[in-house]
Amino acid sequence: AAGVIQSPRHLIKEKRETATLKCYPIPRHDTVYWYQQGPGQDPQFLISFYEKMQSDKGSIPDRFSAQQFSDYHSELNMSSLELGDSALYFCASSLDQGGKTQYFGPGTRLLVL
């Protein structure tokens, strides 16, 4: 079965640079979620989109922005990167929101030097 696709899988950036992470949900899934998992930590919710509209917002820094496009893929844009942004970024998708099971992608590992 098709899974959530994330690209790139690994990314190395310098401080103050920008990064764009992409997420392609499972076909027919209309809801996308972004999570950040720091080293040895649990995943923290950043933001979610349902039918291309922001549906919920968590602890996402103002330096980050995200959107969902007409084909339901989503991009997380990160600017003025800081060392503390180094983490594993997960995207998940679900068919509709409302407690539907979230299926996670393999993650993008971001290292900020």
Partner 1 sequence: AQSVAQPEDQVNVAEGNPLTVKCTYSVSGNPYLFWYVQYPNRGLQFLLKYITGDNLVKGSYGFEAEFNKSQTSFHLKKPSALVSDSALYFCAVSPFSGGYNKLIFGAGTRLAVHP
3-state secondary structure of 85: helix
Distance CA 100, CA 108 (A): 23
Candidate residues 24, 78, 90, 93; the one interacting with partner 1 per rule CB under 8 A:
90
Candidate residues 24, 105, 110, 112; the one interacting with partner 1 per rule CB under 8 A:
105
3-state DSSP helix/strand/coil % of the chain, to nearest 5: 5, 50, 45
Total residues contacting partner 1 (rule CB under 8 A)?
A: 25
The residues pairing with 76 across neighbouring beta strands, listed in sequence order, are 21, 66
The residues pairing with 12 across neighbouring beta strands, listed in sequence order, are 111
Least distance from partner 1 to the Cβ atom of residue 15, Å? 25
Distance CA 113, CA 32 (A): 28
* Chain residues 29-58 in contact with partner 1, contact rule CB under 8 A: 33, 35, 41-45, 48, 50, 55-56, 58
- Specify the residue, 26 or 75, whose C-beta has the smaller distance to partner 1: 26
Positions touching partner 1 (CB under 8 A) are: 4, 33, 35, 41-45, 48, 50, 55-56, 58, 90, 92, 97-99, 101-107
